[in-house]
Structure 1
Amino acid sequence: MSQISAEHPDWTRETPRQFWDPGRKLLLSIRRYQYWRERAGIFGRLFCKVIVLRHRFWSVVTGADIPLTCSIGGALLIPHPNGIVIHPDAKIGVNCLIFQQVTLGSRGVGSVPEVGGHVDIGAGAKVLELVKIGDHARIGANAVIITDVGSNAVAVGAAKIYQAS
């Protein structure tokens, strides 16, 4: 069994598979906005305005609150984007998997999570505060994470963390 990289994104994970692929289309609008925002000139500003409308459309369709300016590593996979909320300052590593109703946020000012590479976050999980989730970690469904989770660890329930050997 080959392990997915925590450093090198597999961009095929984000490629829309069909016309109606809301999660991937939402990510595509975020990627295009960030690309054109970096480019100078009138075309960059014009394209950003159009892409903001596409982002709003896909945000309504998916029910997700993922800001255009957030720091998302390559190859994020959100198969069921309904109810996903990501703080604008949160950092997400490459090749991550986030299921529905996940919140990556804060309970205070300046305390946002940092998610490592190839992290799987189960449905309904809440990652709050200034916590670091290590590479290849897995967060169980409906877990509430308010402490750091190490690399290759599994966190379930109210922050019960099991280290893999």
Structure 2
Amino acid sequence: MFENLREDWQTYGRDLSRQGFWVMCVFRFGQWRYRVKPAPLRKLFSFIYRVWRTLIQIMTGIELHCETRIGRRLLIEHFGGIIISGDTVIGDDVVIRQGVTIGLRHTGLRGAPIIGNRVDIGAGAKLLGPIHIGDDAVIGANAVVLTDVPAGALAVGVPAVIKPRRAQSESSPADLSA
């Protein structure tokens, strides 16, 4: 837990005012409490976790359950309106912005997104259902992603259309003025 917290601290630029860091602290504590062996102590920590999680949800507008499997260095860039299902799997170095929903497509049906490494999720994006988002993919702002996104691709629109990403060096000033 402490190694992950140290890494989270660095990810958030050692800035205690970043609400994403608060959420990650409570998340890491929530996962750690499962490893506590004496049942009475684990129950006490579970109660503390539930109180902290509720306070953090109210203060930040970020809902992140401790059952979610998260890799290293998750960066919640902006706070507010973020919901992440407990069934979701998130890889390393993922960036999430405000208004993002990652979760189930239909109530009562299992299956949440599996997000690869180095994925950039734009503001207001919705990733729903048992989909796979490949490594280095970019999800555009307000995109509604209902299908798999291959590695390195761009998903934009409602419903999202998958497009290949151009390398930054390929775009020229003429492309930008058009």
Q: What residue in structure 2 maps to residue 25 of structure 1?
A: 22
Corresponding letter in the other structure for 1:160 = V
C-alpha RMSD of matched pairs (Å): 1.7
| C-alpha distance 15-40 of structure 1, shift in aligned 2 (>3 A) | farther
Deviation at 1:121?
0.3
**What is the Cα deviation at residue 68 of structure 1?**
2.4
Shift of 1:79: 2.0
Aligned to 1:39: 36
Q: Deviations over 1:139-164 (max 9, x none)?
A: 00000111110111111113121224
Q: Which moved more, 1:71-80 or 1:135-144?
A: 71-80
Distance (Å, rounded) in 2 between the aligned partners of 1:51 and 1:92: 21
- 1:112 maps to 112
Structure 1 residue 80 displacement after superposition: 1.2
Q: Which position in structure 2 is the counterpart of 1:3?
A: none
- Relative to total residues, which structure has the larger helix share, 1 or 2? 2
Partner of 2:123: 123
Bigger radius of gyration, 1 or 2? 2
Q: How far apart are the structure 2 equivalents of 1:36 and 1:28?
A: 12
Letter aligned with residue 92 of structure 2: V
For 1:5, the equivalent position in structure 2 comes to none
- Alignment of 1:94 onto 2:92: yes
Shift in Å, 1:16: 5.2
Q: Percent identity?
A: 35
Which of structures 1 and 2 has the larger relative contact order (alpha carbons within 8 angstroms, sep 6+)? 1
State the distance in 2 between where 1:140 and 1:36 align: 36
Per-residue CA deviation, residues 115-141 of structure 1 (Å, 9 max, x unaligned), is 111111000001112110001111000
CA contact (8 A) 2:116 2:133 kept: yes
CA distance in 1, matches of 2:162, 2:126: 14
Q: Which runs of 5+ in 1 are unaligned?
A: 1-9
AA of the residue aligned to 1:50: I
**CA distance in 2: counterparts of 1:74 and 1:51, whole angstroms:** 21
- Report matched runs for 1:9-88 at 5 Å: 11=8, 12-14=10-12, 17-18=15-16, 20-41=17-38, 42-88=40-86
Question: TM-score scaled to structure 1, two decimals?
Answer: 0.86
The number of aligned residues is: 155
C-alpha distance in 1 between matches for 2:41 and 2:76: 30
Shift of the alpha carbon at 1:112?
A: 1.3
Local SS of the residue matching 2:92: coil
Q: For residues 161 and 149 of structure 2, what CA distance do their matches in structure 1 show?
A: 10
SS of corresponding position for 1:68: coil
- Output the TM-score relative to the length of structure 2: 0.80
